[in-house]
Structure 1
Amino acid sequence: MPNLYQSLSHSRWNCKYHLIFIPKKRQKVLFGQIRQDLVKIFHELANQKESRIVEGSLSIDHVHMCIEIPPKYAVSSVIGFLKGKSAIAIARTFHGKTRNYNGAHFWARGYAVSTVGFDEEIIKQYIREQSDNENRLF
């Protein structure tokens, strides 16, 4: 049986979350090059917060992911970081913004998140079923 827990200096943890968020006004904009770039961007940003995307799916108008976040980070701060920095990257790459971009928002303000617990395989299967293989983040 694989080790289910990660370690920090004074704790052992297994904190996974099912996360869903959408572009502003649920626009159908997650296709083509944006989709390919977002896969890399999300993984890099998660890594910066010592987090890991376990499973993910990009549909044309929403994002599903199962993400592992250490307990030393607030879930809301990691999600805000992912959405904020990815919006900046999209603005710079696809909308020609070059400096201190913080104007129009790419993602809608809210998100849905729930703890995965011992239902991890069920959640991962659900995310896989949301789209075909080309849309998966992992």
Structure 2
Amino acid sequence: MEIKLTELEVASPSVKQAARNVALALKQTPEYRLLESAAAALNADTEAQQAIEAYRAKQQSLQMMLQLNAVSQEERMELNRLYQAFALRKSVQEYALAEAAFRTLCQAAGDYLSNRIGFDFAATVSSGCC
């Protein structure tokens, strides 16, 4: 049995603390607060939640046909209509904008860290928001 540890798990205590400090600093930004607020508004938007569920249900029902590119024009139009019913909601658009702003901030922080430590920080991270 092979045990895999993330780089942070095997990092020195000072590296772990530095990572916590960066995360805390990002969490205190207006971009993060806006993202949290937008996420709460989206989660509270029952019409948006119903709209995305209707879209996902339709998409799932057509999944095999979509993969085969065998969906009728009418079904594609219905799928698009259901998606638009979700995507055009104010809460969805505000969340998308807030997420993009926070992603940009994370990328800038990653670039800053890369310059400070002398190697490409983003290349060492396998997943995350940035």
Q: Name the TM tier (shorter chain).
A: under 0.3
Asked which structure has the greater RCO (Cα within 8 Å, sep 6+), the reply is: 1
Q: Hey, which of these two has a bigger chunk of strand by percent?
A: 1
The structure with the larger Rg is 2
Higher helix share: 2
